[in-house]
Structures are given as C-alpha cells and as structure tokens.
Homo-oligomer: A and B are copies of this chain.
Amino acid sequence: MTTDPDRPDTPAARRAVTLRTVGERCGLHASTVSRALRRAADADATAARVHAAAREVGYQPDMVAASMRTRRSRVVGMLVHALTDVVQAILVEEVEDELAAHGYQLLVVNTHDRSAVQRAKVELMRSRRVDGLIIADGHVDGAYVDWVASLGIPYVLALRRAGDHPAMVGDDMRGGELAAAHLADLGHRRIGLLQGPAYASTSAGRAAGFRAELARRGLALPGGLCESCELFARGGHDAMARLLARTRDLTAVFAVNDMAAIGAIGALRSAGLRPGWDVAVVGYNDLSVAAPFGLTTVRGRQQEIGRLAARSLLGALDGEPPRTVVLEPALVVRETTRPPRAAP
C-alpha cells in the first residue's frame, strides 16, 4: 500500500486529519481554516478553497476538541425510567429527531426510577459536559428535580411534573376526569381503577382526576375496586386478576395507561369475561396498540410532548427561560366501552 505521508487521503491510511492538515493543503493557517469552514462553501473564494481542501483530505471536525474549547458540547442528556416503556421511547425518539435537526446529539440513560441512579447518572452526564437535561423520570416529591435545578444546568421535564419546575406535560387530571365522565355517562356505577405508582405525576394525576370526577357525581370509588400495579401488560394483567379474585361486582375499569389496560383485557378474557360487553375498559395514552384492540383511551400526545421538550430545552440553551406547557387530553372512544349489560 502506498502511504504518502504528505497526502494521507485514503480512508484506511487516515491518521489525525486536523485543521492543520487542511491548512497545509491549501496554504493557510489552521485558524483561518477554522473560520472559513464555519462559513458556507460558496460564501467567498477562500471559503470555497478551504472547503474543497477539507473534502480532499477527508477532514472531519473533532467535536470533542471543539467542546473543550467552547465549553459547549452540543450534547443533551435525557433521563428516562426505562426505554421499554413505549411512552418513554416515543419521547426519546421525538427528542432525538428534534435535537438532530438542530445539530445536537442525545445521551440517554435508564434510571429505573431509582433515585440513587438518577443522581449518579446526572453527575456522569455533567462530567460529560452535556449542555442541558431532559428529565422524563421526574418524581412528584420534588427532591430529585430540586437538586438538578440547584446545579444550574438548563433542564426541562417531559411528561411527568415535579413541583413548579418547567415541564411539558399532558393534563393528566383532566384526562382522568374524561375517563370517569365517559364511563359514568354510559351508565356504569361500579367502576374499578388500576392505578400506577404515586411518585409519577402522570398516574397520580389520572387517578386523582378519575376519583374526583366520580365523587362529583356521587359515585365515590368503592374501596375494593382499586388496585395498584406496575404500568405494563403483565402488571395490569395481574392487578386485574387480583381485583376479580376479590369481587366480580363491577361493570367497568379504568387503567391509567394502555399497557396496563391491555393486560387487564387479557385477565378479563381469562376469567371468561368479554371486554367491552361484560366489563368496559378504558386506558390512557392512545398508543398504536390501542386501536387494533379497540381500546377506548385518552390521547396522551406524547409525540408533541417530546418535540416541545426538545424545543424548550433548545430555547433554554439560547437563554429563553422554559415555561410549563400543559396539553389538553382528548377521549378516544372505541369498542371496549359500552353501556353496562343491565343499564339502570
């Protein structure tokens, strides 16, 4: 292989192609090259010359070096509790797309909602000099987010709120009300609730709104009709099974997210009950799995939340203080909700 040290432009032979390399190629100083490269290729004669030379020697900017010098990494950190929660995955996907469109990259971490992990990973990301943080695993007790805020790094919450920290969220309380109102309007009176962890404002808000709306209608939730569960299919399945083991005297159930609802549907079928006909089911989020299941649900608007969170953080990096945005939910009625068999 002919490896001329003066022209290391075959990809395999490349070694440290820097601004200096480009400069030598076109007889200019590295600093001039740096400036010219920031201009468009057709801005002026030198810019054109420099861009051409850069291409010829296969120059690739070293963003690590640039980060070091400018103190801006153009990397954003994002904390999720688990990527396998489809809602969190949607957020990450939207955030990554939006950031990429603005020249930023994304460092994601799973925290499994464990506070020691949350803090450790924030520290790690700060070591990496991320420009800002998107927090999708916030806890209502503000300790964690308060701490992040105290670090002085730009941040914004997504999906879940915590205290008065800037957050892009859905109106979960309102969504819970919509679910309750819908079932009550259909004539249901004994309605079960599958709720999630209290530390997540999403599940807590939905459950609270649901209970409040029922109470407003004089239908306060009977004690035995509430189960806590983890918000994925198996969790919803098991919780519904436990509930049914205790009583079958119910005609509807609201699960605070779609996966739990789908699990519940499975449990109903196993128990010989037909979802929709024997027991109405309402979920939350309107994931794409909801439609083929005919699941009545509440639109969670997580794509928009992801986009907004990314844009909001980008804004914060430009000095605009982030504000909280609350998106209005909407009920999506499908086949799993019908009036009770023996409507009053």
Contact = CB atoms under 8 A, between A and B. Distances in A.
Copies of this chain: 2
A205 B269 CA distance: 33
B106 A64 contact: no
Interface of A: 11-12, 60-65, 67-68, 73, 75, 82-84, 86, 89-90, 92-93, 96-97, 100, 105-110, 121, 123-129, 150-152, 232-234, 236-237, 259, 262-263, 265-267, 269-270, 288-289, 291-294
Contact of A12 (B11, B68, B152): B152
A159 to B, nearest CB: 15
A134 to B, nearest CB: 13
Given A127-B63, A150-B11, A100 B109 contact: yes
B127 A61 contact: yes
B96 A110 contact: yes
B110 A93 contact: yes
Given A12-B150, A259-B289, A64 B237 contact: no
B237 A292 contact: yes
Contacts of A82: 93
Given A89-B89, A109-B100, A129 B64 contact: yes
B100 A93 contact: no
Nearest to A109: B96
B97 A93 contact: no
Given A92-B83, A107-B105, A109-B96, A128 B63 contact: yes
List 3 A-B pairs, minimum CB-CB distance, nearest first: A266-B292, A83-B93, A83-B89
A273 B123 CA distance: 54
A121 B125 CA distance: 21
Given A68-B64, A107-B106, A90 B84 contact: yes
A254 B252 CA distance: 33
